A and B are shown apart, each in its own frame.
Chain A
């Protein structure tokens, strides 16, 4: 006699608990796709630069005076967002609000400094292929920072409304994950545009 299997599980979580939920997978696919987008942007940079005559990079020694501290600032904002998320986990709402608020302000400062960078460039978007790539790639990143700020703002507002608990907070974790992604991808952009010329690429 063959038996019929019936799956009768006990005590299943109902809806998203902690990070456990399909929303987390959704955030993962979004980040995979966005990560690919930046990979293609950087491919465009390296391919165009590698096939261009010498002197392609318009700034053989890109100034790091603003860019390096700005990079550190963005990374610290990731830490702030993480610290805020821990606040949700520990039921400390004030800490969470402080963390998300600080991350938001640091992200906003990053944008201002990046705009100053843009303003200080001796070239414009139409000067050459290098200039076009520089502005469009950093522009794509800025656009992602803006989206990330809107996400932080939403999380801040929802936390202020006391929506979350250590168990029910997938939205927060997914939003913070996106912010980490926006910051991590900047490291690749920064390395490509600000550091590889020092190694000789495109000079």
Chain B
């Protein structure tokens, strides 16, 4: 029997019978079986989001403990070692286990809906990414709860991190955990890239995709290329610590600066990777509440890409004080200053959108709009440290801590909470409470600025970061007390958000398809969307398929109700990379246990490496290899082989 190689997809409209054919193909099995085998991007996305918020809460509690210790001079709530592990684990948690996965979660959930597709390009890889994220997060936290958390800061400089100065398992947990987590980030990035280029709805040419797609795509290209740098750095560190190599050890001809280069070659693009998708959320969400399209779509999209291109060439600005040659510093300083330009373009596009629109003040709008202010503050302090002489004064002081929190909380947490208010109705079918939302916003906004605005001054007054206590010198005590109070206010604000989510899950007002009257494809699906997202594949004629007809102009209209049915199997359509012309019917994989088994095998492998238990390495590796073999075994359903043969 031959399977047909070509088919003309039937075009039609949704019907009860059609939905009844699609549902069993796409639905996740109920109970435990479905839990471990699902490849539905919506379920995986929500898992990412929930897990990342749990890590946000953990990292927040760690921060509060530190703020108690630092509330006044000469306190001894924490020992120096406890403090070291807390600030390092806080950084690791927020940067690696919250800031990036939360964006992956939103993008995983939203992308196929934004793109008019039925799933990500590689659904099983998507599941694998989540399981490894969870496993590596547990691995890293297993170190912390057994007193073996990282204790050398999140960027983990040698020689502090080498065995001579750090003999415990702390750095081994961190090093191996980061290599493990890197697999998750890499497979996720690969999936986003292929999804963006190959599974957009017909007609959705690259200049019609929402900015969130530009943001996550750009971040993913960067991650794909730079994550190997940090994975390698941590692997080499582990080799130095456990197998007597000399990569970072000057006594053996090693080069300590190699650590800093490899780390920041990864680290700085990573900083953009954890803000560009969040900026995309603002670029897509803010205009909805301004009741007009984003001003300067093309400029914003190009600026997103330009930021990342500059972002590859600025890593040395983390190393201005290391004694590198002046000519090199000048180059990296110039690049770090130039990167302000694309960021400014985006900021002005947002401001113009508000100015030229008719803003509707909602909680989501407040989070998105306030982010512009926080971005500018964080941007200006970053611009200051891009200057070598200024940086020499400010490096390793609280000024830098203030800067990075304005960037990470301002451009990640605020947009993310705004995005939660915006897309929660799509995910759950219910709206978050607006009244509680105002309390939520203002508590977070006031608390955050109370905590971190004075911290700039603390830094200008010379207080060094990463010390567990300090003498009452030059007004440091008062400033730190204000920061500690502000941090608790901020924490209450975040708590209000969690309360709102839990309350609204059951009691929130019903949302309907499109509660915000927003223009993009996800709002044309029911809330929450069915497992197959779109009963028929839409055809897209503009950037705002749901606003056509009122934006003026006589452009063609998108077709949302009529389109390819694709109900012969678990199918969606593959389109060309730039113009999104359909070029194949994609056969999508069914639910599978292989991703979970692979993550499980890798967990055994990494635990084995940590404990140098080669049996565990062998068993874990064998399970992983077997899972890959099962996964890749050519299947007839996916048309990877000829059914007539074999």
A191 adjacent to chain B (CB < 8 Å):
no
- Considering the complex, which residues of chain A in the window 1-48 have a beta carbon less than 8 Å from any beta carbon of chain B? 2-17, 20-23, 25-26, 29-30, 32-34, 36-37, 40-41, 43-44, 47-48
If A5-B559, A21-B584 touch, whether A15 touches B255 (CB-CB below 8 Å) is no
A14, B228: Cβ atoms closer than 8 Å: no
B541, A29: Cβ atoms closer than 8 Å: no
Question: Could you tell me the distance between the alpha carbons of A13 and B3 in the complex, rounded to whole angstroms?
Answer: 11
A26, B247: Cβ atoms closer than 8 Å: no
A26, B190: Cβ atoms closer than 8 Å: yes
B244, A125: Cβ atoms closer than 8 Å: yes
A131-165: contact bitstring with B at CB < 8 Å (1 yes, 0 no)? 11100100000000000001000100010011111
Chain A nearest CB, measured from B86 CB (Å): 31
Chain B positions within 8 Å of A127 at CB level: 252
B21 adjacent to chain A (CB < 8 Å):
no
Question: Could you tell me the distance between the alpha carbons of A8 and B13 in the complex, rounded to whole angstroms?
Answer: 13
A55-69: contact bitstring with B at CB < 8 Å (1 yes, 0 no)? 010000000000000
B244-262: contact bitstring with A at CB < 8 Å (1 yes, 0 no)? 1111010011110110011
B198, A22: Cβ atoms closer than 8 Å: yes
Chain A positions within 8 Å of B245 at CB level: 125-126, 129, 132, 136
If A32-B225, A154-B632, A163-B642 touch, whether A20 touches B252 (CB-CB below 8 Å) is no
Chain B positions within 8 Å of A25 at CB level: 121, 193-194, 197-198
B564, A7: Cβ atoms closer than 8 Å: yes
A14, B639: Cβ atoms closer than 8 Å: yes
Chain B positions within 8 Å of A130 at CB level: 253
Contact count band on A: 35 or more
B184-212: contact bitstring with A at CB < 8 Å (1 yes, 0 no)? 00100110011001110011000000000
| Stretch of B68-76, B427-435, B550-558, B609-617 lying at the A interface | B550-558
Question: Could you tell me the distance between the alpha carbons of A162 and B193 in the complex, rounded to whole angstroms?
Answer: 33
B236, A9: Cβ atoms closer than 8 Å: no
B556, A51: Cβ atoms closer than 8 Å: no
A29, B193: Cβ atoms closer than 8 Å: yes
Candidate in B197, B246, B554, B563 with the most chain A CB atoms within 10 angstroms:
B246
Question: Could you tell me the distance between the alpha carbons of A11 and B562 in the complex, rounded to whole angstroms?
Answer: 19
Chain A positions within 8 Å of B225 at CB level: 32-33, 36
If A22-B574, A154-B629 touch, whether A4 touches B556 (CB-CB below 8 Å) is yes
Question: Could you tell me the distance between the alpha carbons of A167 and B122 in the complex, rounded to whole angstroms?
Answer: 21
A171 adjacent to chain B (CB < 8 Å):
yes
A112 adjacent to chain B (CB < 8 Å):
no
If A22-B198, A33-B186, A36-B225 touch, whether A9 touches B582 (CB-CB below 8 Å) is yes
Question: Could you tell me the distance between the alpha carbons of A22 and B192 in the complex, rounded to whole angstroms?
Answer: 12
A20, B190: Cβ atoms closer than 8 Å: no
If A8-B11, A129-B252 touch, whether A36 touches B558 (CB-CB below 8 Å) is no
Option from B6, B541, B634 in Cβ contact (under 8 Å) with A163: B634
Chain A positions within 8 Å of B587 at CB level: 14-15
Contact count band on B: 35 or more
B253, A158: Cβ atoms closer than 8 Å: no
Question: Could you tell me the distance between the alpha carbons of A85 and B629 in the complex, rounded to whole angstroms?
Answer: 20
Question: Dominant SS at the B interface?
Answer: mixed
Q: Across the interface, name the chain A residue whose C-beta is closest to B261.
A: A47
B198, A52: Cβ atoms closer than 8 Å: no
Question: Could you tell me the distance between the alpha carbons of A4 and B202 in the complex, rounded to whole angstroms?
Answer: 13
A164-198: contact bitstring with B at CB < 8 Å (1 yes, 0 no)? 11011011000000000000000000000000000
A132, B194: Cβ atoms closer than 8 Å: no
Q: Across the interface, name the chain A residue whose C-beta is closest to B201.
A: A7
If A16-B639, A26-B190, A129-B253 touch, whether A3 touches B232 (CB-CB below 8 Å) is no
Question: Could you tell me the distance between the alpha carbons of A47 and B254 in the complex, rounded to whole angstroms?
Answer: 10
Q: Across the interface, name the chain B residue whose C-beta is closest to A52.
A: B253
A13, B5: Cβ atoms closer than 8 Å: yes
A33, B227: Cβ atoms closer than 8 Å: yes
A30, B190: Cβ atoms closer than 8 Å: yes
B8, A132: Cβ atoms closer than 8 Å: no
Question: Could you tell me the distance between the alpha carbons of A57 and B641 in the complex, rounded to whole angstroms?
Answer: 50
Chain B positions within 8 Å of A6 at CB level: 11, 539, 559, 562-563
B511 adjacent to chain A (CB < 8 Å):
no
Option from B11, B232, B246 in Cβ contact (under 8 Å) with A37: B232
Option from B239, B564, B581, B638 in Cβ contact (under 8 Å) with A8: B564
Task: Report which A residues bind B (CB closer than 8 A).
Answer: 2-17, 20-23, 25-26, 29-30, 32-34, 36-37, 40-41, 43-44, 47-48, 51-52, 56, 125-133, 136, 150, 154, 158, 161-165, 167-168, 170-171
18 A-B pairs within 8 Å (CB atoms) are namely A2-B549, A2-B556, A7-B202, A8-B9, A12-B583, A14-B587, A20-B584, A21-B584, A22-B122, A26-B190, A36-B224, A44-B258, A52-B253, A129-B252, A132-B247, A163-B641, A164-B634, A168-B642
Instruction: Beyond the given A22-B586, A129-B246, please list 15 additional residue pairs across the A-B interface where CB-CB is below 8 A.
Output: A6-B563, A9-B582, A13-B6, A14-B639, A17-B584, A20-B583, A26-B122, A32-B224, A33-B186, A34-B228, A41-B232, A48-B247, A125-B243, A126-B244, A161-B645
